[in-house]
Structure 1
Amino acid sequence: MVRTVTSFGRSGTFDWLYQRVTAVVLIAYTFFIVGFIFLSDDFGYESWSALFAQPWVRIFSLVALLSTVVHAWIGLWSVVTDYITNRMMGGKATVLRLIVEVLLAAVAVIYVVWGVEILWGV
């Protein structure tokens, strides 16, 4: 049996809820960006820069980025725990699964730091 030690919500119900909430945030952000692109009269660097100069757009973008990371983490954790199991690889599966999860977490942290740097120029 696989324990949920590295699961985001520590239970299937919370993971399910987190994925649904993050999916709603991501679809709202997608509609916002696509709507801006198609409804903008003068879509270019100036309008795009003016849009992202507004603090609420930066915050919304950061929330969308964090939602992407949470959503992806739960999905990838599920896939990793399903495909790298003790039955498949004997006793070595726990170490391999932990290595894969640490690598995925490192990539997620790098993406968040990079996104904050892009949004706020930190």
Structure 2
Amino acid sequence: MVREAGTFGRSGPHDFILLRASAVVMLLYVLFMVGFFASTADVTYANWTGLFSNLWMKVFTLLALTGVLVHGWIGIWQVLTDYVKASGVRAFIQFVFSVGLIIVWLTGLFVLWGV
């Protein structure tokens, strides 16, 4: 049996709520970005940097990146526990995906905040 230690949340219902909340945040971010591209006739460097110079946009983007991290972490754990029965292989694949998700999140953090 697989333990809860590999999940991002504390339990199944907690994971369920985290997945739904992260999906809503990512959907809102995608809709906002589609609206931005649809309403901006010519996306230039000035428009792009102007958008991301706002604090609310940086926070919204970081929230969306955190949603990707949480959603991916829980999702890959659920898929692997269902379909990969060898614990060593499952741990390796989960490790690779987790490192990738953390790298994406940290890259977004550094790009957004110039850390």
TM-score of the alignment, normalized to the shorter chain, above 0.5: yes
Identical-pair percentage: 40
Q: Matched residues in 2 for 1:37 and 1:95: separation?
A: 44
- CA shift digits 1:78-113 (9 cap, x unpaired): 11111112xxxxxxx222222222222111111111
Query: Secondary structure, in 3 states, of the residue corresponding to 1:8?
Result: coil
State the one-letter code of the partner of 1:107: G
State the one-letter code of the partner of 2:87: T
1:119 match: 112
Equivalent positions of 1:67-86 (< 5 A) are: 67-85=67-85
Structure number with larger C-alpha Rg: 1
Equivalent positions of 1:27-46 (< 5 A) are: 27-46=27-46
Query: Secondary structure, in 3 states, of the residue corresponding to 1:5?
Result: helix
Q: Matched residues in 2 for 1:116 and 1:22: separation?
A: 17
Instruction: Measure how far apart 1:40 and its partner are.
Output: 2.1
State the one-letter code of the partner of 1:119: L
Are 1:6 and 2:45 counterparts?
no
- CA shift digits 1:12-60 (9 cap, x unpaired): 1111111100111011111111111111244322111100011110110
Instruction: Measure how far apart 1:62 and its partner are.
Output: 0.5
Equivalent positions of 1:91-110 (< 5 A) are: 93-110=86-103
The gaps in structure 1 that reach 5 residues or longer are: 86-92
